[in-house]
Structure 1
Amino acid sequence: METTRDRLKARNPGPWRFYVRRYGLVHVIVDANGSPIASSVPIGSGPLLAAGPELLTALQRVAELVPEGLPAHNVAVDALERFAEREGMTLADWQPVTAPRPMLSIVGIAT
């Protein structure tokens, strides 16, 4: 079964990049397809957010490869659990935006 995380990954493939200016927007995170994901991101956070997919993959690898009980394993597992918890809260609060209704209406046809 496809999860919400899988759908988001398919829509916004990594690697992501951070640009100060792109497409007339400032402080933009762009996915591998060139589609903007977020804009007006604080400049100090932009590069870290853009590295998100790679950082998550690295944490998963550390959790898999490092033996349990070692500090690196514990830190990676804790970070992954916190991320999953926050992601769950974000997705639970997420409200899809519906397209605005057209404001024009046809009142007659000129002949």
Structure 2
Amino acid sequence: MVESKNTKSSNLLNRKWVLIALLCGLPFFVLFVYLGAPGRGRAALIAVGVVVLTARACWDLKEYTWFWVTLSITVAFQASLVLLVPWTSKSYPGITLLPVGVADYAIVWGSIKLVEKVARK
């Protein structure tokens, strides 16, 4: 039964969910651009997209309270980074921002998997 969950969760991320993640982050980007901080908007767009994609990748853990607590803590941490770090308004091509998104995804996914490992013991 565990094997079926692992193969099922590998198919959870597809183009549809990438589009959903971008659409979830778009209002934050527009808000920050309207407020005159496009750098923060770009950081918020990446952060929201990463949280949505990570939650979807770990969706088989949705029935556990610790999953939602961990996700909430990572969201609070990312929100504080978006608001407190001075982000530049310089325009970057998407490929330049890809390592930032991948590192962010690895941190959020790793924290969820670390808490899962501790909770299962």
Per the TM superposition, whether the score is higher than 0.5 is no
In proportion to residue count, which structure has more helix?
A: 2
Superposition TM-score, scaled by structure 1 size:
0.30
In proportion to residue count, which structure has more strand?
A: 1
Q: Greater RCO between the two (CA within 8 Å, min separation 6)? A: 2
Instruction: Please say which structure displays the higher CA radius of gyration.
Output: 1
